[in-house]
Amino acid sequence: MSKVFVNIGLSLDGYMAPEGMTMEHWETPEYKNWGAKWGALMAWIFNQQYFRENLKLGPGGETGPVNDLLRSTTERIGANIMGKRMFEQGERAWPEEAPFHKPVYVLTHEKREPWVRPGGTTFHFINDGPERALELARESAGNRDIRIAGGADVIQQYLAMGVVDELEIALSPVLFGSGRRLFENLREPGPQFRIDRVLDGPAATHLRYVRQ
């Protein structure tokens, strides 16, 4: 059976996104310095060979264990789930050929027809809640896994539902001080995880936790 996993970058003080990273300030990355903070958080990925290939940024890039990890994580995905806020930011930032190449289910109250992009990505807009999005994602994924991409509130919903099998976290040595925390608003008792893997990289520590 396919697994449900979270795969995200995280600051050392527990934030997925810095303060100021909103649609209102999308064109002003200097607002509260969110652009530089986000760049530091994700610095580990930008020069990986597989990332460059996937976004068609040209040849080159780093190879090695981190690149292999990125490739294997991406290739295991059969469907993605994300929230409206993440989608709206990506709609402005992603290239025409969005980097998913698989179905993406967007949790939203907005009614909208599926948005088909070149390269195999289709965004489906789900108005019936996280359970329905997961049901549709499982149907699409087949034997592959389902990635909960974010943002933090969406991840919290699926953690509260008790359906997350794995957490994959790229922990970067940056401090935000404020922003959107990953682990907020969780009900007790929360799901229990154990450490499965730790991979040290030059710009992030890559952690995988699996549910006990």
Domains contained in the chain, number: 1
Reference 86, options 185, 180, 160; nearest CA is: 180
Domain that holds residue 104: 4-211
Burial class (CB in 10 A: 0-12, 13-18, 19+), 164: buried
Residues in the chain, pLDDT under 50: none
| Residue 212 in tokens | 């006990």
If you search the block for the tokens 């998913």, which residue do you land on?
100
- For 134-145, give the DSSP string: HHHHHHHHTTSE
Which pLDDT belongs to residue 1? 78
Name the CA dihedral angle for 119, 121, 122, 126, rounded to a multiple of 10 degrees.
Answer: -170
Which pLDDT belongs to residue 189? 81
pLDDT digits (tens, 9 = 90+) for 1-23: 799 999 999 999 999 999 999 99
Which pLDDT belongs to residue 174? 97
3-state helix, strand, coil in the chain (%, to 5): 30, 30, 40
Which pLDDT belongs to residue 16? 97
C-beta of residue 95 within 8 angstroms of C-beta of residue 55: yes
- Omega cis (within 30) before 83: no
Which pLDDT belongs to residue 191? 85
DSSP at 99 = T
Angle, nearest 10°, between helix axes 130-141 and 152-161? 90
Which pLDDT belongs to residue 53? 92
For residue 118, the domain's CATH number is 3.40.430.10
